[in-house]
Structure 1
Amino acid sequence: MAERPSNLDEAQQQRRMAKKEMIKPLLGNECEIHNYSLQKITVGILGTGDFARSLATRLVCSGYDVIVGSRYPKCNESLFPSAIEVTSQREATNRANIIFVAVHHEHYSTLNKLRDGLMGKILVDVSNNVEVNEREESNAERLASMFPESTVVKAFNLISAWALQSGARDGSKQVMICSNSQEARCMVVEIARNMGFIPLDFGLLSSAKEIENLPLRLFPSWKMPIILTVVLFVLFYVYSFIRKVIHPYVMKGQNVFYKIPISVVNVALPCVSFVMLSLVYLPGVLAALFQLRNGTKYKRFPCWLDQWLQQRKQLGLLSFLCAALHAVYSLCLPMRRSARYQLLNEASALSRLGFTALVVSTLHVLTFGWRKAFDSTQYKFYLPPTFAITLIVPCIVLPTKAFLFLPCVNRKLKRIRRGWETSHQAKFREPGEADSVAHFSMESTSRV
């Protein structure tokens, strides 16, 4: 009986330890969470520009002691709130633990006189370039080579001064961080989190060049949809040009080149819109078939399918743009001809009812083109009518969608998307492995 209290104490102690382990955030084994005290960290900022002023204000509001280093402290002191101390660059580097280098990368050489104060400190490089891949090495790598005694972290270059002032919203919440020092990364991660941003660990400093190129890429998610739209338009335009202009000229000697700027374009635009609208729903159908085959939602999609799923919004907007242009071009034609496309225009304009638009557009094309499909005179140069080509993708999407709507199939698909698995041996694999080479997007899965 005398040993019972000690056993109870030992059991309680084990429960407390287990509880502490459960409280720890699940951030992986590579980065340990350091509970740095805000009062022990003095953040220094070299520079007095717009970004430096916004950053200093945001850091003070987040509970940090901030000291700004300036070449002309008396002139720039009035630009900062009274809670921020503005002093010389040398004094700021000597007193700060973490230093934000908020100067242009062209002026890094002016920091050589501060080498003693920067020794052993963490330097956060926030600079950007003017052009993509402006130099062979990134600005952060250049700064690290200039100050090998310091630890350089690339971060906050995607955050604007406006975002620092008005607060993190939408895409401006993400702070991409990379450094060769794990401890330095964790410290900057903690600072970004305390400021209300979402830190993203990009690993070693070699990723800095990729991070610096991101702000210079114009609409990266629109690249492939725009290329696809242009390619489809060129193909349908050339195809319609051969059928409507070249064929009458060769076979009958008719000069109908006046159709090139309006009539031929107005044939290509609705075809592109129709095919693009079909491509919005085709990846969702393919993803559902993948999930049914795998019996789980936790297996990665192929890379091409994952990217396709993430670009459906862009495909839909470009489809609507082509439909709108088709409507404008139709106004240039006689009313008796533009009335033929009225149903397709109305169907494509139903952006909120995309699948309904696809069904109505398909029915519209079948209604007006059914007789022409069996008319031999429509096969000019043995080429089928344009509408027959546009029906290929919708005729794949709609029957497959109908199959997925079957109660037995739909019930199983819903169970899989709620987490049910056919086999409990699903494994997560890296993108480079054999059976799966893609990154699985949770956002894409939720919208399938």
Structure 2
Amino acid sequence: MHMEEKTECVSLSPLGHPTPSECELVCIFGTGDLGRSLGQRLLQAGYRVVFGSRRPHNCGPLPQGAQVKGHAAAAQSAQLVFIAVHREHYDFLESLGPQLKGKVLVDVSNNQKKDLYPEANAEYLQRLVPGASVVKGFNTLSAWSLQNGSTDANRQVLVCGDSAEAKQGVVELATRLGLSSLDRGCLSSARELEDIPLQLFPQWRLPLRLAIGLTASFFFYLLTRDVIYTYATQGKDVSFRIMVSLANKVFPIVSLIMLTLCYLPGVLAGFLQLYRGTKYRQFPDWLDHWMLCRKQLGLLALCFAFLHAIYTLIIPIRYYVRFWIGANIVTQLKENRTSEFDNTVAWRSDSYYSLGILGLGLFVLLGITSLPSVSNTLSWREFSFIQSKLGHLTLLLCTAHTYLYGWDRFLRSSSYRWWTPPGYMLCLVLPTMVLLLKLLLISPCVDRSLSRIRQGWERGQSGGPAGAVGTPLLL
């Protein structure tokens, strides 16, 4: 009676594998966090779940509605088996060859570090159980992402295997769970998939190196100008400035440079297309890689801008500032004099702060719209308007903010300590250049030529576009 019931519930696809139905049974070897989360997700999708455990009567709490059996009994009852155990515990699977023959084994394991074993875990599993069809998949999902369902951003399942039918069954199951899937080829690709969870911020490496390099360079540059110079020429110890004053000079400099680096590759790409007279030639690898990490550059720039804003807010409560203000008041009382109000300085300081606040506000807007949950709700035109037009406006406001900070100090000889320019002057070179080049690109004659190229026109071509209209770059 039980076997007849099972036959009625499970329907086979033309490929010979079970199609998702309300009572299809799936087996999971492993009762750890990932195994339990996967079982809970399968139960929510309408599957029946049986766990295979070496201790079926003492394996901890399992999702409500799931069964638990020994490995052999669990494997015998299901066509698709998830292997959610560590590679070092795979040995028991070799003895289950008869029960696993003809079954689909989904290997979800990962390693602690790269190149830990001479072959991929999935390839090793296939060698242990040659009668089964091994598919590598679900290893890039965490227990947390499975528990949070479709609300989590990590929803893609990468699969690979030598059996097209087995992969199709896993893809159908992933779709039933509300996950997208991507076929990465044969089982020989399993090592690449197993290395993905071990990557540490792969898209952030270049931006982080730039941020660390710029921070260290300007820190030691300003340390030499502000602290070492004062001690060497006047004998004063102003090393206390390192913690706040020096940091509050370094952070805005790094922020402005990294914001500029978000828009410099787009400008370079525009001039490169004008020079080549076509959009159908690939950009150099270094430019492609640079453009792919603009989001990370922008978010790091926003982080430094926030630090600058916070450091600026604490200036009035610093001991040094309060001491200096008190001493200045006492000095004026003793000398019976009063400083007159300077309208020019008032305009300059208010404009400086106003541009800084507006720039930070737009900076935050750029950061928010770069989040997938927000950008997915925007049309391409809306996203382009915010990231390109408002992005360049942000760069303009931040650059003007820095110019107002410097004002006329570049005319004073005292600003060039040991014949070196102030840090803010150095950081203005790159954004000024980018803004001028962008102004040239949006001039009517240049913009008209660039727009034609991006619509498919090629130099030397008298007819219409050579191909479909390409997606515009965020310049």
Cα distance, 1:280–1:76 mapped onto 2, change above 3 Å: same
Is residue 175 of structure 1 aligned with residue 157 of structure 2?
yes
Is residue 195 of structure 1 aligned with residue 177 of structure 2?
yes
Cα distance, 1:376–1:92 mapped onto 2, change above 3 Å: same
Q: Which residue of 2 aligns with 1:69?
A: 52
Q: Aligned equivalents of 1:165 and 1:328: distance in 2?
A: 37
Is residue 150 of structure 1 aligned with residue 187 of structure 2?
no
What are the ranges of 5 or more consecutive residues in structure 1 without an aligned counterpart?
A: 1-32, 428-439
Pick from 286, 289, 294 the counterpart of residue 312 of structure 1.
294
Q: What pairs with 1:135-284 in structure 2 (closer than 5 Å)?
A: 135-169=117-151, 171-284=153-266
Letter of the aligned partner of 1:304 in structure 2? W
Cα displacement string for residues 343-382 of structure 1 (whole angstroms, at most 9, x for unaligned residues): 5642542212543332122223334435333444433333
Cα distance, 1:54–1:233 mapped onto 2, change above 3 Å: closer
Q: Aligned equivalents of 2:98 and 2:136: distance in 1?
A: 21
Q: Aligned equivalents of 1:162 and 1:69: distance in 2?
A: 22
Q: Which residue of 2 aligns with 1:361?
A: 398
Cα distance, 1:366–1:72 mapped onto 2, change above 3 Å: closer
Q: Aligned equivalents of 1:243 and 1:159: distance in 2?
A: 50
Q: How much has 1:390 moved relative to structure 2?
A: 0.4
Is residue 90 of structure 1 aligned with residue 45 of structure 2?
no
Q: How much has 1:101 moved relative to structure 2?
A: 0.8
Q: Which residue of 2 aligns with 1:384?
A: 421
Is residue 46 of structure 1 aligned with residue 83 of structure 2?
no
Q: Which residue of 2 aligns with 1:127?
A: 109
Letter of the aligned partner of 1:52 in structure 2? G
Q: How much has 1:175 moved relative to structure 2?
A: 0.8
Q: How much has 1:309 moved relative to structure 2?
A: 2.7
Q: Which residue of 1 aligns with 2:332?
A: none
Q: Aligned equivalents of 2:144 and 2:252: distance in 1?
A: 41
Letter of the aligned partner of 1:307 in structure 2? H
What are the ranges of 5 or more consecutive residues in structure 2 without an aligned counterpart?
A: 1-13, 326-344, 366-389
Q: Which residue of 2 aligns with 1:20?
A: none
Q: Aligned equivalents of 1:357 and 1:80: distance in 2?
A: 51
Cα distance, 1:367–1:181 mapped onto 2, change above 3 Å: same
RMSD over aligned CA atoms reads: 3.8
Larger mean CA deviation between 72-81 and 269-278 belongs to 72-81
Letter of the aligned partner of 1:372 in structure 2? R
Kept in 2: contact 1:326–1:345 (CA 8 A): no
Cα distance, 1:348–1:95 mapped onto 2, change above 3 Å: same
Q: Aligned equivalents of 2:178 and 2:25: distance in 1?
A: 18
Tell me the secondary structure at the aligned position of residue 160 of structure 2: strand
Cα displacement string for residues 173-209 of structure 1 (whole angstroms, at most 9, x for unaligned residues): 1111122444433432333233321112223334333
Q: Aligned equivalents of 1:188 and 1:302: distance in 2?
A: 38
Cα distance, 1:36–1:118 mapped onto 2, change above 3 Å: closer
Letter of the aligned partner of 1:45 in structure 2? I
Length, aligned pairs only: 399
Letter of the aligned partner of 2:290 in structure 1? W
Q: Which residue of 2 aligns with 1:115?
A: 97
Letter of the aligned partner of 1:142 in structure 2? Y
Q: Aligned equivalents of 1:287 and 1:241: distance in 2?
A: 36
Q: Aligned equivalents of 2:395 and 2:33: distance in 1?
A: 49
Is residue 396 of structure 1 aligned with residue 377 of structure 2?
no
Q: What pairs with 1:7-18 in structure 2 (closer than 5 Å)?
A: none
Is residue 346 of structure 1 aligned with residue 354 of structure 2?
no
Q: How much has 1:116 moved relative to structure 2?
A: 2.0
Cα distance, 1:274–1:344 mapped onto 2, change above 3 Å: farther
Q: Aligned equivalents of 1:415 and 1:299: distance in 2?
A: 15
Q: Aligned equivalents of 1:78 and 1:317: distance in 2?
A: 41
Letter of the aligned partner of 2:28 in structure 1? I
Cα displacement string for residues 227-257 of structure 1 (whole angstroms, at most 9, x for unaligned residues): 2111111111111122223333444544443
Q: How much has 1:328 moved relative to structure 2?
A: 3.4
Cα distance, 1:323–1:59 mapped onto 2, change above 3 Å: closer
- What percent of counterpart residues are identical? 41
Q: Aligned equivalents of 2:61 and 2:226: distance in 1?
A: 71
Q: Aligned equivalents of 2:86 and 2:430: distance in 1?
A: 51
Tell me the secondary structure at the aligned position of residue 128 of structure 1: coil
Q: How much has 1:391 moved relative to structure 2?
A: 1.3
Is residue 55 of structure 1 aligned with residue 38 of structure 2?
yes
Cα displacement string for residues 81-106 of structure 1 (whole angstroms, at most 9, x for unaligned residues): 54x66444223323433321122333
Is residue 326 of structure 1 aligned with residue 308 of structure 2?
yes
Q: Aligned equivalents of 2:123 and 2:355: distance in 1?
A: 55
Q: Aligned equivalents of 1:236 and 1:104: distance in 2?
A: 47
Cα distance, 1:420–1:126 mapped onto 2, change above 3 Å: same
Larger mean CA deviation between 274-283 and 207-216 belongs to 207-216
Cα distance, 1:306–1:190 mapped onto 2, change above 3 Å: farther
Q: Which residue of 2 aligns with 1:12?
A: none
Kept in 2: contact 1:38–1:64 (CA 8 A): no
Q: How much has 1:126 moved relative to structure 2?
A: 0.7
Q: How much has 1:156 moved relative to structure 2?
A: 0.3
Tell me the secondary structure at the aligned position of residue 134 of structure 2: strand
Q: Aligned equivalents of 2:60 and 2:253: distance in 1?
A: 62
Kept in 1: contact 2:355–2:400 (CA 8 A): no
Kept in 2: contact 1:324–1:345 (CA 8 A): no
Kept in 1: contact 2:137–2:158 (CA 8 A): yes
TM-score by length of 2: 0.71
Q: Aligned equivalents of 2:354 and 2:213: distance in 1?
A: 25
Cα distance, 1:50–1:380 mapped onto 2, change above 3 Å: closer
Is residue 285 of structure 1 aligned with residue 267 of structure 2?
yes
Cα displacement string for residues 107-139 of structure 1 (whole angstroms, at most 9, x for unaligned residues): 212223212222343321112234455444433
Q: Which residue of 1 aligns with 2:330?
A: none
TM-score by length of 1: 0.74
Q: Aligned equivalents of 2:270 and 2:109: distance in 1?
A: 43
Kept in 2: contact 1:99–1:122 (CA 8 A): yes
